[in-house]
A and B are shown apart, each in its own frame.
Chain A
Amino acid sequence: MDWKRFGFIGLVIVVLLGTVVMIGQVKQAPLLIITSMLATTIAVATPLTLGALSGVFCERSGVVNIGIEGMMLAAAFFGWLSGIYMYHIFKLPPPVCIGLGVFFAVLTGGLMALLHAALSITFKVDQIIGGTVINILAVGLTGFLNRQLFFGKGSVFGGTVPSSPGVLPTIHVPITELFGGICGGAASCLENVQAVNRVFDQKPIAMTAILLVFFSHYVLFNTRWGLRSRAVGEHPKAADTVGINVVMMRYANVVIGGLFAGLAGAYFTIESVPSFEPLLTNGRGFISLAAMIFGNWTPIGAWAAALVFGASQALLINMQIFRDVIPPQWAFLQESYIVGLTPYLLTMFILTGVIGKTTPPAADGVPYEK
């Protein structure tokens, strides 16, 4: 990860924040805008971060995974569905249902990944095709079950979507309590500290994702597991000749990637909003892959790139908040379909390689033949 790339990421985030500050400052103090936008950025970057980590594990071990989108979607659905089941059928208390929902979402991601691993490692199916199969399967399966279970004749829940057990709570990081003292009781100062605090008050999956970024980076580059995983993704035969089980390493890493994608899926229906709708992942699995590539297949780089996409989504949200104060010469910013293009335009721009080329693992996407 070179400085050019990090510089670009920093620049884009500053530009996005600056735009919102310039427009919104008539209504709100800049610090409040910046902190609230940063908080949103971190939150909405969560599935992208986890998706990118998922890709890093798969591809570092040599398996291309374009099925992350599908894994997320399936996990979002089954995590949400299992929460509802636990809540309404088994009458478990909401926190337990939410926890089990997360568990089943992660499990779904793992199982979908196991399918991808079997297709691409054991059966040596073209990995792009395998990933596409996962994506189509997820769209079909979730759409079908969603309709069968909740809508139409004879559906299990009788034609209505029952209330879900809710979403994961925000965890308060006691920054105001610890550092509020420096204000000496000045109310405006205390307000600022509270605003900063809001950046750190995130929900559990968002926090876990950030911890996982650093943990993954450490595992990949400083442990035996990481060295071997990267070896099978670079030159599987070399790994084989020193006694490393290439097939096992690849399976394990693809499934680990699936667990990450599953957690990303849980973000949508268990952390963000307590509902499911068909196709709700909306291409974020693919944007994750762009983040992974822009991050040069490193967890920290991928996270930085995911934050850019997060910031551009935060821009969209804030443009709606400040819709009525957008100056007339910038009227195009009122149109959410234009602002909403930002992450996709960024993806295309980044993948052109103008900001420096990245190098995938040498054996990425190549089945291993003894």
Chain B
Amino acid sequence: MSDNTTTPQVVLEVRGVSKQFPGVLANDNINFDLRKGEIHALLGENGAGKSTLMNLIYGLHRPDKGEFIVNGKPAVIHSPNDSIALGIGMVHQHFMLIPVFTVAENIMLGDETVKRGSLDRAAVAAKIRQISGQYGLDVEPNAIVGDLPVGIQQRVEILKTLYRKANIVILDEPTAVLTPQEAEDLFRIMRDLTARGVSIIFITHKLKEVLAVSDRITVMRGGRVVNTVTPAETNSAQLANMMVGRQVILTVDKQEREAAEETLIVENLTVRDQRDLETVHGVSFSVRAGEVLGIAGVQGNGQTELSEALTGLRHPTGGKVTIAGKDLTGKTPRAMTEAGLAHIPEDRQRHGLVLSYSITDNMVLCDYYRPPFSQRGVIQPKALDDYARRLIQAFDVRTPSPFVQAGKLSGGNQQKVIVARELSRKGVKLVIANQPTRGLDVGSIEYIHSEIVKMRDHGIAVLLISAELDEIMALSDRIAVMYRGQIVAIVNAKETTREKLGLLMAGAHAETA
């Protein structure tokens, strides 16, 4: 990576930048520098001020104090146009792409090539092909962006910055939406870019990635820079401590447990997706009381449809689902929850919460119709309020009041509301958790992991579906690997390795892996 023997050239320097938002000092006297050709990771929990700092550098907001030095000269950045002109490009966490436009239209937007009044699509496509060839970013300029997989869409975003001749590229949480393979691909692209003199600011809260790809790491917490270190002089635990400001337990402690009766039995289950294609082909497994069964697999191998079929959101086309001794195949979500299912859904904003409802109302979404929350068909506000306040406290949901709309909470707190609701219900016998920590920061992940293990230790069956192999390995007693709609192997968590699981996830047979 970058060569540190000579004095490194600094392409971007942030000096004493502060930004006050109503109620919070989002950036407090930030000093930061980016050297030519380096990957500089900016690490911090949600709300640490990383995104604010990047929005200041990109000109989406203006700082209250401080200055930016770009390529040795003080720079005035009042709008994205200014930063684009200075060679700064940004890939936003939520892509700034127009799905119905072609790749070429998306890339040229705002910087169009025009010939006699018409868009010169051919010239733009040629230029895109040239740039994508140069940086190894394979993309078809005439493809419609909405048809492309997420990983390719991200390439389009990167191309967008390169098309504008950016030599400083900000990547905001770029791996949050990627599969492990796509993330690997992104890291290769990042290294290619830096080898060609592009400097990258890599915003993330994933420790492993930071240690794997960065040249330097700056940690932020509570709007301030905690420290800047190199990967060689630090490790995961130390970084986590800097991020959170206290000791963080990265490994999960579990007691040995004797697994008991089978709480969830799935036999020969087949499920079709909304396009009516069969995505789960005759899957069978069981989860015992007091164990965590992890389902590992690259996203899109049928996990979503499987979990929907097990929680009543989707009708299976064949097979049988038994929960706590009752045949609940194709029953409604309510029948399932009444039988003892707690469900932490994959998409917390679509299936986990009613975003416009208060935290209180969200806390009782499964049980509002039952006493003590309802008496003779009438909701009891007092009971709801007491219950919500108790859970907010018990699960450490950070909110000014229980009346706050769920949509106003941070992702971590939203997930805590769901976890609180699902795990506190009476008579839970089975927990199905799908991607329970996706997009969350270290502190929240630690918390949710400990809650899941607590359920297991209390003798509840847990089915954990996750694309994060580390999560699966840390929490599971047994691990089932899903590939193309089938469970290709079920292994004992203690007797397997990352490598073996990785091979299985890529479709290798159990015997050869």
Contact = CB atoms under 8 A, between A and B. Distances in A.
Q: Do A and B bind each other?
A: yes
A231 B99 CA distance: 10
B100 A234 contact: yes
Contacts of B92: 241
B109 A227 contact: yes
A237 interface: yes
B100 A242 contact: no
A25 interface: no
Nearest to B111: A242
B11 interface: no
Interface string B106-139: 1011111010011100000000000000000000
Q: Could you tell me the dominant secondary structure of chain A's interface residues?
A: helix
B80 interface: yes
A243 B81 contact: yes
Interface string B80-109: 110010000010100111111100011011
A359 B118 CA distance: 25
A247 to B, nearest CB: 13
A230 B108 CA distance: 13
B79 interface: yes
A228 B106 CA distance: 10
A244 B101 contact: no
A224 B112 contact: yes
Nearest to B96: A238
A242 B101 contact: no
Contacts of A362: 98-100
A242 B96 contact: yes
Contacts of B101: 227, 230-231, 234
Contacts of A237: 96
Nearest to B95: A238
Nearest to B58: A241
B127 to A, nearest CB: 16
Contacts of A227: 101, 105, 108-109, 112, 119
A363 B97 CA distance: 13
B112 A238 contact: no
A124 interface: no
A14 to B, nearest CB: 32
A222 B96 contact: no
A47 to B, nearest CB: 29
A68 B450 CA distance: 59
B328 interface: no
Contacts of B110: 228, 239, 242-244
Nearest to A238: B96
Nearest to A363: B98
A238 B110 CA distance: 10
A235 interface: yes
B60 interface: yes
A230 B92 CA distance: 21
A231 B98 CA distance: 7
A40 B326 CA distance: 70
Interface string A220-255: 001110011011001101111111100000000000
A216 to B, nearest CB: 14
Interface in A77-125: none
B80 A222 contact: no
B117 A223 contact: yes
A238 B111 CA distance: 13
Given A227-B105, A242-B111, A243-B80, A235 B117 contact: no
A238 B79 CA distance: 14
A223 to B, nearest CB: 6
Contacts of B112: 224, 227
A242 B118 contact: no
B382 to A, nearest CB: 35
A85 B122 CA distance: 53
Contacts of B117: 223
Nearest to B118: A222
Given A242-B84, A243-B79, A223 B99 contact: no
A227 B109 CA distance: 7
Contacts of B105: 227
A244 B98 CA distance: 14
Contacts of A230: 98, 101
B109 A244 contact: yes
A240 B114 CA distance: 20
Given A237-B96, A243-B84, 11 more contacts: A223-B114, A224-B112, A227-B109, A228-B109, A231-B98, A241-B60, A242-B110, A243-B80, A243-B110, A244-B109, A359-B100
3 closest Cβ pairs, A-B complex: A242-B110, A238-B96, A243-B81
5 contacts: A228-B109, A238-B96, A238-B109, A242-B80, A242-B84
Interface of B: 58, 60, 79-81, 84, 90, 92, 95-101, 105-106, 108-112, 114, 117-119, 160
Interface of A: 222-224, 227-228, 230-231, 234-235, 237-244, 359, 362, 370
